[in-house]
Amino acid sequence: MNHLNEEQLVLFYYGEAPDTQEVESHLAGCDVCREDFRALQLVLNTVDSAPVPERSATYGQAVWGRIEGKLGIRRRPSFMRWWMWSPALAALILAAFLAGRLTHQSDGPTLAKNQRNVQLAGSQQVRERILLVAVGDHLERTQMVLAELNNAPEGKGKLDISDERQIATELLDDNRLYRQTARSTGDTAVASVLDDLERVLIEIAHSPSEVSSEQLADLRQVIESRGVMFKVRVLGSRVREQESKPVSNRDKISKKL
Amino acid sequence: MEVEAGSAVERARSGDSDAFRLLVEQHSRAVFRLAFRMTGNEEDAEDVVQETFLRAYRQLDKYEARSSFATWLYRIASNYSLDLIRMRKRHEDRRERGSNEDHDILQSIPVDSPSPDRIVYGSEVQHKVNVALNELSAQERTAFVLRHFEGMSIEEIGNTLGTGTNATKHSIFRAVQKLRRSLEPVVGSAR
């Protein structure tokens, strides 16, 4: 009687033997092959003891964080998507706002004009409110870009920040408009924060698309040294606070800063 | 889960990056386990995970729903691991190593003297299993891991690696022979 060879035993172990019943009946009646199979089982079962380091439940998110920038996906976080048209909106709001102020300043002191001024004051308040909303969104958007850079994973290779760079470039134009408006309306505190912010945005906009960990650390240093994150957060929350108040009770933001 | 994955794959193929993100989050751990067993170290395994998903994203249009998405990912991971192991082995071969340190360790553990401490013994066995797996060729290790740990059939492995059923079968046989040679003295002493 021929004994089973190793290949037959291996295939039987993995359930791929073409003649399973034959092997089974042979093993039942052959001590030598049974002992050989038992030794094989022991080795292969021992191989299972090789440990594999565990990865946490959030590992997939970490992997995504590492590869997202390399996939060439040109997308924005959802909250930003509607902001694609923000420069046009900002320009429109600013034009309306400045037009309102100029019209208001050129009016004479007659009764008819005074009545008209009351109406204009009301519409100016509405325009200021719209501007406030725009500034609030601008700050929120800026905060997200800064947060993304601050929280970007540090690896050995280069980090793709082309998205952040592009958004920073877009934000720069808006930021200049808002800063100039804040200065012209005497909101010096707002203008000052926007001024700091502008310098940081310039740094980001002028950075290479891919940065080394050292360059990323430098960018973070610029953000940190100017305390921009904190200032933007405070200003943003106060703007939002003002937005939620009735128009007639609203003071200038700078009075509260 | 597979239905959901199928729908995510479809959406990912039509350019929905959120759907691809879902797939990455869903399969990363399994790909890591496979990659670690293939490569034997965490750094390479992380490399394989990352490269697998990058390649998968670029080749999404080539994915055919006949196989599960997980199997398709495994195929990419296996082939990349295979390349990586071969590359590593070439580098190692080039280096002039006076002696095989792992082999020395293997020889230094007395075969016929069971350890008094089962925990120490367990870690020794695990170490020797790793050493034994590292002694397999890239082809043997890949085929063996897919058969033994991932439960793929020999035919599937042959298709995955593009080596055919017979060559795959022989890779597995050789792998098992080598593992037996390395590990039987160790597990035998525990009997």
Selection from B90, B82, B101, B86 nearest residue B144 by Cα: B82
Mean pLDDT of A92-102: 56
Most confident of the following: A20-29, A172-181, B117-126? A20-29
Instruction: Scan for tokens 């108040």, then name that residue.
Output: A245
Of all residues in chain B, the one with the smallest CA distance to A73 is: B17
- pLDDT of amino acid A5: 93
| Buried/exposed code over B50-89 (b: 16+ C-beta within 10 A; e: otherwise) | bbbbbebbeebeebeeeeebbebbbbbbbbbbbebbeebe
Could you report the predicted ipTM of this complex, rounded to two decimals? 0.77
Going from the C-alpha of A249 to that of each of A122, A129, A158, A182, B44, the distances in angstroms are 13, 12, 50, 20, 62
**Model pLDDT for residues B38-81, shown as the tens digit of each residue:** 998 899 999 999 999 999 998 888 888 777 888 899 999 999 99
3-state secondary structure (DSSP) of residue A211 = strand
Query: In this model, does residue B1 exceed pLDDT 70?
Result: no
Q: A60: distance to nearest CA of chain B, Å?
A: 4
- pLDDT of amino acid A178: 81
pTM of the model: 0.53
Residues of chain B contacting A40 with CB distance shorter than 8 Å: 176, 180
**φ, ψ at A152 (rounded to 5°):** -60, 140
Residues of chain B contacting A70 with CB distance shorter than 8 Å: 54
Q: Are strands A210-211 and A159-160 parallel, antiparallel or unpaired?
A: antiparallel
Q: Which of B11, B14, B16, B17 is the mutation pick for testing A, counting most A CBs within 10 A?
A: B17
- pLDDT of amino acid A127: 57
B52 secondary structure, DSSP code: H
